[in-house]
Amino acid sequence: MITQIKGRLIDKTPTNVVVDCNGIGYFIHISLHTFSQIPDSESVTFYTHLLVRDDAHTLYGFSSLVEREIFRLLISVSGVGASIARTMLSSLSPKQVMEAIASNDLTTIQSVKGIGSKTAQRVVIDLKDKIIKVYGLDDVLAVSSNTNKNEALSALETLGFARKQIEKICDKIIAQQPDATVETIIKLALKNL
């Protein structure tokens, strides 16, 4: 199994890259998250997962070991293929995927194209314990289940802001002020938008 590729970046698009490794060009499928992490330098390293099927050998690349592990966990779920797992990691950061699974946030999981309610439930049921055990997300659960944060998010969404954008800002606010009121979260978020 090819587990890591280090070489010279020849070509990159938001969905794939070509890496020259000692004269061999590897075509690697990537998520938008990985694309955003690619350095400006020519030398790159990708942690890879080789998916072998009867009709193709497909190489998926990730900027971090955590993202690759999340991908592997996702494709272990019945009904979630490599393309849906890659779409999920393109729509959400690895941390957001872990938080959504750990906190039973089916709405966030279903916001990914190709994932319906049954698949979202299956992802949570199959992976919640594994993610909490492996990554120790007890503190993530406490932050994600914060009702003040959820109320602030709802209010900001009603004002017309995109959920992804406001969620990152609200997470930062709560990390700095864990006991912030709904009003405080909204005011600070509006200053940062």
Amino acid present at 74: L
Domains of the chain, start order: 4-62 (2.40.50.140), 65-138 (1.10.150.20), 146-192 (1.10.8.10)
Q: What is the pLDDT of residue 137?
A: 55
Q: How many angstroms separate the CA atoms of 33 and 36, rounded?
A: 5
Q: How many other CB atoms are found less than 10 A from the CB of residue 6? A: 11
| CA distances for 124 relative to 21, 131, 135, angstroms | 38, 10, 15
Q: What digits encode the pLDDT tens for the residues 37-82?
A: 998 888 999 999 999 989 999 999 999 999 999 999 999 999 899 9
Q: Could you report the per-residue pLDDT of 155-185, keeping only the tens digit for each?
A: 888 888 888 888 888 888 887 887 788 888 8
> From CA 181, how far away is CA 177, in angstroms rounded?
9
pLDDT tens for 82-108 read 999 999 999 998 988 998 888 888 889
- Categorize the per-residue pLDDT at 146 as very low, low, confident or very high, splitting at 50, 70 and 90: low
Using pLDDT thresholds of 50, 70 and 90, give the confidence band for residue 128: confident
* Backbone φ, ψ for residue 66 (5° rounding): -65, -45
Which tokens go with 192?
Answer: 């940062």
pTM score > 0.85 for this model?
no
Question: In the 8-state DSSP scheme, what is residue 3?
Answer: -
The string over 163-193, giving b where at least 16 C-beta atoms fall within 10 Å of a residue's C-beta and e elsewhere, is eeebbebbbebbeeeeebebeebbebbeeee
* DSSP for 92-146, written as a single string: S-HHHHHHHHHTT-HHHHHTSTT--HHHHHHHHHHHHHHHHHHH-THHHHHHHT-
